[in-house]
């Protein structure tokens, strides 16, 4: 089972990386990419490889793998850009990693990742929910399906996870100067 998951992960990761990198490389700043669209595209491409046409892949497992893949892709992307300090004061950091990527704010992607790590340390289930919602762009109901919990619970937990992440991301110590460099 673990081997299956690892293989699945590898396949999803590779596919998503291709799609996402292609998108990120060409995307003009200001255009928000849709995590859902990327994941959906990967699903179609992977799903297409199994003859028979049915849902050969376990959609839940796929989505979990997709979320984790997206996270790694974006972090790689951000690390690749370097970890420079971001200027400006308190910018509201959106919890949409692709928007962050498109805005070329590597700091924010890494900050978001750190925040999720912090959350995982505090409450693994909240972190799991956050990854699926943020990186795979899943709805509450889809997240519930993947994790086997009720959508209502997802919504409840998401509220608190969102608050936690928002605080963690925006409380980063980097926010200091607002001077324009001369």
Interface map 9-48 toward other proteins (x if CB under 8 A) = -------------x---x-xxxx------------xx-xx
Closest to other proteins by CB, 3 vs 26, is: 26
Check binding of 5 to other proteins (CB under 8 A): no
Closest approach, Cβ 137 to other proteins, in A, equals: 16
Binders in 96-125 for other proteins, by CB under 8 A: 103-105, 122-123
What six digits make up the tokens of 70?
């997206």
Binding test (CB under 8 A) with other proteins, winner from 34, 36, 166, 172: 166
Instruction: Check: CB of residue 130 under 8 Å from CB of residue 158.
Output: yes
Closest to other proteins by CB, 10 vs 22, is: 22
CA distance 18 to 32: 18
Which of these, 75, 85, 161, 170, lies nearest to 116 by C-alpha position? 161
Segment interacting with other proteins, rule: CB under 8 A, options 1-9, 13-21, 80-88, 142-150: 80-88
Q: How many CB atoms lie within 10 A of CB 29?
A: 7
Check binding of 150 to other proteins (CB under 8 A): no
Count residues binding other proteins (CB under 8 A).
48
Instruction: Provide DSSP, 14-79.
Output: HHHHHHHHHHHHHPPTTPPP-HHHHHHHHHHHHHTTSTTSS--S-HHHHHHHHHHHHHHHHHHHHH
| Helices 106-122, 59-81: crossing angle, 10 deg rounding | 130
Closest to other proteins by CB, 54 vs 173, is: 54
Instruction: Check: CB of residue 69 under 8 Å from CB of residue 16.
Output: yes
Binding test (CB under 8 A) with other proteins, winner from 6, 56, 88, 114: 88
Which residues contact other proteins by CB under 8 A? Answer: 22, 26, 28-31, 44-45, 47-49, 51-54, 81-82, 84-92, 94-95, 103-105, 122-123, 156, 159-160, 162-167, 170, 178-182
């Amino acid at each position: 089972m673990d081997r299956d998951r690892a293989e699945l992960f590898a396949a999803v990761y590779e596919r998503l990386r291709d799609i996402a990198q292609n998108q990120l490389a060409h995307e003009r700043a200001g255009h928000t990419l849709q995590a859902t669209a990327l994941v959906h595209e990967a699903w179609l491409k992977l799903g297409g490889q199994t003859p028979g046409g049915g849902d050969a892949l376990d959609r839940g497992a796929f989505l979990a793998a997709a979320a984790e893949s997206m996270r790694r892709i974006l972090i790689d992307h951000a690390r690749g850009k370097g970890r420079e300090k971001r200027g400006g004061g308190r910018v509201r950091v959106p919890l949409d990693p692709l928007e962050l990527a498109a805005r070329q704010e590597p700091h924010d992607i890494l900050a978001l990742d750190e925040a999720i790590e912090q959350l995982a340390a505090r409450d693994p289930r909240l972190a799991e929910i956050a990854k699926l919602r943020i990186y795979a762009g899943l709805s509450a109901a889809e997240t519930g399906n993947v994790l086997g919990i009720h959508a209502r619970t997802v919504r409840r937990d998401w509220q608190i996870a969102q608050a936690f992440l928002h605080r963690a991301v925006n409380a980063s110590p980097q926010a200091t100067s607002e001077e324009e460099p001369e």
